[in-house]
Structure 1
Amino acid sequence: MGSSARIAVDAMGGDGGLAVMLAGVARARARFPDMHFLLVGDENAIREELRTHPNLSAASEVLHAPEVVKSDAKPSQAIRRAKTTSMGIAIAQVKAGRAAAAVSAGNTGALMSMAKLSLRTMPGIYRPALAALMPSLGDTDTVMLDLGANTECDARNLVQFAVMGAAYARTALDLERPRVALLNIGTEDQKGTDIIRDAAAEIRAAPHLPLEFAGFIEGDRLSRGEVDVIVCDGFSGNIALKTAEGTARFVADLLKRAFRSSIRSKVGFLISKPATELLRDHLDPNNHNGAVFLGLNGLVVKSHGGANAIGIENAIAVAAKMVRDDLGRRIAEDLGNFEAKAA
């Protein structure tokens, strides 16, 4: 990644507060020794917390921000305070070229609005998309987008999401030709809305794209590992994501209740503990943390608000990998090739 790579971190965002954020950054520093950080927030509080992380202190610069975007703040309110909040100032460092990427665990709507207004979309990109990795039964995770940035999309938006999602999968999952599918209510060609069918037709007509188009996929197959990238509008994607996360918590809580129901169940738990721990780790959102705003003139990563130190570390790792593989250039090249050959 190079010794000059630096990540701007909104140190005040997230439910766990400053201590959790810096603990996660310290873990990332140990994982990526060449990485440097720009920690944005209350300067006195950050410097006090850095005393417990001497290795991080040596690789960090602190930038004071007098305000914090609250979790319940409206995007319009947050935008008006972009120059004084830790979130807004962190994004501004990317725009100014002082940081290669920004990471925040703060208000999603505010982060999305600030990032789009400050960084703008890349040439040729109509709308940015929020992409994240979801656990699957396959050999790798699955990229899903859009997860809430755009509640309504047309066919061209979905096609661009497919191109951007495939480029991200090549970076995040080390895949040469990711398998891409559109989320639909059926797998038959005649199923779904005109928008979804038109998007599928455009992708099929572009065999030069660095991806394998797998057609349509239904909601009950999202985690089967049958495809590498799942594309949808932000309304459907956000519902699908929240449903998947809720189902994972439901399964985990159900197992806990079952294992505590009797002495025999408790004995069974001890026998099956390695398997249940593997399941817990696989479903833990901290192990898949770090959603990416694709299509902007700069890299911004959104962490779960409730992420622990491991989750913050993984969100920063996502940012580091995007910087290393120059994701923005990949997206621009892929989209440019698609537009040129489609003309």
Structure 2
Amino acid sequence: MRVLFVRPGIGAGKKGAEVVRLQEPIEIALLAGQIPACLRDRVELGIYDFAVEKGAFKRGLQDFRPDLIVFWVERGQEATASEQALISRETSTSAIIAAAGESAAQADPSVFDLIYTGNPVKQLEETLMGIETERSLDEIKNKLGVTDKGFSGSVLKPMESRAIKKDGYYFLQYPSVREIHSQQRVNFNENGLIGKEVYDLRPIEEIVTDIDNWGSAVYLKDLDIFQSRERLEGLISALEERELKGTYIAAGVWGFSKWEEELNRFRDLGLKVMVLRFTLPGDPETWIAMEEDVSSLRKRGIEPVILIKDELSETDQEALIFWLKKLGEGLVVLEGEALEKNNAIITKLPLSLKIYWRWVGEFGFAEATRRQREYKKALLP
């Protein structure tokens, strides 16, 4: 089957904005990259970008003969996309025409057969499967309705309280996560992202019982779990024994990448994020070792969040920004002195496309884009 992705023009009277739009259509490339492996050999992809192509849309449709046409609709393009969809309808009479993107919900429903407003990755997959198995358009729509109803992502409003702002980033991703301590506590209402380093340890069975009772979407906030391979192994084994797969965030300690088996098992249980407190390395070997830790997480699909508490000098700050940009990392949370003095770390680092794309898969394009805008607001005073 042939699938054509279309990046609409911006309409008459707005040509001055074309210069801005000459960047690569990365969102379309990312969506196209999510086509499931079982279909890739049977799908031929095409992209038509009105910012580059001039006056040959009908000819392109006639030459490519698409079975599915997906318009990526950004803000301000709703009317133009609808006009271009009508041209598609006249030229490719048998093709299914769909709208995706930030403003897909505002597209004209009388023009588009399908509007991807929930989880566009899953909806595109269902559409392709429907075409492959020769389902009718109504059957495909019914399937998409089930996919949409199954979407349970939480649409958060911008951060409101100052206390939440300090932990804002990981709550933006996983709003239902409950904090669980693996050490005996005096005060359970801490605002810091990471808990205490040295305290009386709670029994593993007690921790796992808390996870079982509170729901397996938890943040293991204390550092002891990754300070001891034996304790980490004990926790993982207990979680496996009770089959407690879920969403896990854990406070980590640098140097864990050598524990490959335990990382793989924890990932399989649902470890999504590891929060790592940054201390400026004293030598090149330590920078390299930290880079290996970050790469070890990334290759397993686990996100590293870098927590910075201590104020950094301007030179050290620039060194850290350079290092994070080299690794392609943009997940940084500031606390304490760093929150007041080192805001540039947040303002100069872009939000990773990997994060943005996972939000797209879980929450839809509109919510992912809103979160991208709110990200820095949530972390900075």
Q: If the length of structure 1 is used for normalisation, what is the TM-score? A: 0.32
Higher relative contact order (CA 8 A, sep 6+): 1
Larger radius of gyration: 2
Q: If the length of structure 2 is used for normalisation, what is the TM-score? A: 0.30
